[in-house]
């Protein structure tokens, strides 16, 4: 389990992520994943946040693409610290339709858990 020092909301975010289930996980054509990138912007009063995305690529490759500016979220490119696979490994891989639904559901769950800065999830 990842231990992040700083965000007071981290344990609530972990619980929120683990509360979600992917019904198509491991299905024959399951090739999509949801992923979470830890964000940090020292200029903010609460500098930690998360970016939620979905991809047909390996999440590690997708993180590198964000950081290199390829089809990148500006928040993930500028403030992305690292990929947090622990929050989504129980969901992946899944079918595309479900990755789109769970991307939004995960972002909503983080907001409901009190994460002050959530990007992506659409």
Evaluate whether residue 1 is within a structural domain: no
Q: What is the mean pLDDT of the chain?
A: 94
The total of structural domains in the chain comes to 1
Q: What is the pLDDT of residue 5?
A: 60
pLDDT tens figures, 29-71 = 999 999 999 999 999 999 999 999 999 999 999 999 999 999 9
Evaluate whether residue 24 is within a structural domain: yes
Q: Which residues make Cβ contacts (< 8 Å) with residue 76, sequence separation at least 6?
A: 37, 39, 51, 53, 63, 66, 67, 119, 120
Neighbour tally for 115: CB within 10 Å = 21
Evaluate whether residue 5 is within a structural domain: no
Predicted TM-score (pTM) above 0.95: no
3-state secondary structure 1-59: CCCCCCCCCHHHHHHHHHCCCCCCCCCCCCCEEEEEEEEECCCCCCCEEEEEEEECCCH
Q: What is the pLDDT of residue 122?
A: 87
Q: What is the pLDDT of residue 6?
A: 66
- Segment 96-109 shows an average pLDDT of 98
pLDDT class of 12 with cuts at 50, 70, 90 = very high
Q: Which of 53 and 26 is assigned the larger pLDDT? A: 53
Which helix (H) or strand (E) segment holds residue 119: the answer is: strand 118-120
Backbone angles phi, psi at 7, to 5 degrees: -65, 120
Distance (Å, whole) CA 46 – CA 1 = 23
* Chain Cα centroid distance, residue 29: 22
Q: What is the pLDDT of residue 11?
A: 95
Domain with 66, as residue range(s), is: 10-120
Which helix (H) or strand (E) segment holds residue 96: the answer is: helix 96-112
Percent of the chain clearing pLDDT 90 (strictly above): 92
């Amino acid at each position: 389990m990842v231990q992040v020092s700083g965000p007071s909301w981290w344990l609530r975010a972990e619980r929120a992520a683990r509360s979600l289930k992917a019904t198509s996980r491991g299905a024959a054509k399951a090739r999509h994943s949801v992923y979470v990138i830890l964000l940090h912007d020292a200029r903010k009063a609460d500098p930690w946040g998360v970016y939620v995305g979905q991809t047909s690529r390996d999440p590690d490759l997708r993180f590198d693409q964000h950081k290199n500016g390829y089809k990148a979220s500006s928040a993930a490119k500028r403030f992305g610290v690292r990929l947090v696979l622990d929050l989504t490994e129980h969901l992946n891989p899944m079918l595309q339709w479900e990755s789109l639904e769970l991307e939004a559901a995960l972002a909503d769950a983080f907001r409901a858990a009190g994460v002050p800065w959530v990007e992506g999830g659409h």
